[in-house]
Homo-oligomer: A and B are copies of this chain.
Amino acid sequence: MKKAIVLLSGGLDSATTLFFARAKGYKVHALIFDYGQRHRKEVHAARRLARAAGCDLKVVKIALPWQGSSLLDKKMALPGNRKLDKQEIPSTYVPARNIIFLSFAASYAEAVGAQVIFIGANAVDYSGYPDCRPEFYAAFRKALARGQKVGIEGRALRIETPLIRKTKTQIIRLGLRLGVPYHLTWSCYAGGKRPCGVCDSCRIRTQGFAAIGAKDPFFK
């Protein structure tokens, strides 16, 4: 059975990606990072999602000894009221975060013999993160092909970003079709008991569900 690594974050996009990879016939090895994020709840959400998908989940603990992001530093304010369509990089950008995540995924893939890494990156609905753009993934794939044993042996890893060109509404439609248990996901940056409803992450998903007239089970 062909194997894939799926990077999970516990949120809506990565949950959809997980079920997408499974539907494509991959034996999935899911991976999530506990890196001191405010919203550590996503680790628990990832566990629930992996269980629901019947796949193995590894949690990599990373203690980043530097800051530089409002997602890590509780003294910094989270962006809450800015326009979502403004193409600027928000303070929640964690320096090189997806680069770090992909590196671990590449290591894991090589260790277990997976040929593909799936990541739920999205470049359409607002994110502003440079490491969510297709040109980054193309370049990173080349780096893996040249830097990994499997790469120079002619079995370079693929990086699949099935959601990258989809709107949030299209992602949700796909997910509902795949039976993604969206009630198990966690998307809020703030890390409170209930979703804050005002952070970028909460607002983008609310808008996505509203557009298809569906109820988001995240906001019960």
Contact = CB atoms under 8 A, between A and B. Distances in A.
Contacts of A146: 130, 133, 135-136, 139
A97 B106 CA distance: 10
Given A106-B95, A143-B99, A148-B130, A60 B65 contact: yes
B100 A96 contact: no
Q: How many copies does the complex hold?
A: 2
Contacts of A102: 103
A58 B66 contact: yes
B66 A108 contact: yes
A107 B98 CA distance: 10
A100 B112 CA distance: 17
A23 interface: no
Given A89-B149, A149-B130, A68 B139 contact: no
A54 interface: no
B148 A139 contact: no
A104 interface: yes
Interface string A37-80: 00000000000000000000011111111111000000000000
Q: Is the interface of A mostly helix, strand, loop or mixed?
A: helix
Contacts of A160: none
A100 B152 CA distance: 18
Interface residues of A, number: 47
Interface string A138-166: 01101111111101100000000000000
A64 B151 contact: no
Given A130-B148, A143-B142, A143-B143, A62 B64 contact: no
B103 A100 contact: yes
A130 B147 contact: yes
Contacts of A95: 106-111, 148-149
B147 A140 contact: yes
A200 interface: no
Interface in A77-103: 89, 93-100, 102-103
